[in-house]
Amino acid sequence: MRIRSLWLSVPVLAAAIVTLPLLATARQEPREIGLVARQMAFYLDEDTAPNPVIRLKPGERVRLTLKNEDKGVLHDFTIRDLGVATATLKTSETASVVFEVPRRTANYRYACRPHSKMMAGDVAVE
Ligand SMILES: [Cu+2]
């Protein structure tokens, strides 16, 4: 019985030996950026400035997560020129979008589509 179960584990071990290096070389986890929509402005998690410049590195992968903390107001987050957009969020909802930053340094605009005049800022790829 013991020997038999040992033999059964051989294919499992072989599969692990083949798979583990593949997992290790899988694409890096995206960098996390947290944004909050509050009182009709965007805020970065660690920052108190409204609608701050969002600084990204060329070619990096980013997971941007938006939380809507405004009562009774819908918000989203978009970078139109990069085709980046979260879902439209109700109060207390959260949504993420993962994207790859272009490799060239450039500036883009971000905005909340329902409030593109008040809730907008710059994305700096540098
Ligand atoms: Cu908004």
Tens-place pLDDT, residues 66-102? 999 999 999 999 999 999 999 999 999 999 999 999 9
In angstroms, the CA 120 to CA 62 distance is 19
How far is ligand 1, taken at its centre, from the CA of residue 25, in Å?
A: 39
Of the pLDDT bands very low, low, confident and very high (cuts 50, 70, 90), residue 28 is: confident
**Average pLDDT of the residues of the chain:** 88
Q: Please, how many CA atoms are within 13 Å of residue 29, restricted to the half-sphere of its CB?
A: 4
Stretch 52-56: mean pLDDT, rounded?
97
How far is the centre of ligand 1, averaged over its atoms, from the C-alpha of 74 (Å)? 6
Question: Ligand 1 center to residue 45 CA distance, Å?
Answer: 17
The SS3 assignment for 70 reads coil
Domains of the chain are: 31-125 (2.60.40.420)
Confidence check: pLDDT of 103 > 70:
yes
φ, ψ at 25 (rounded to 5°):
-95, 5
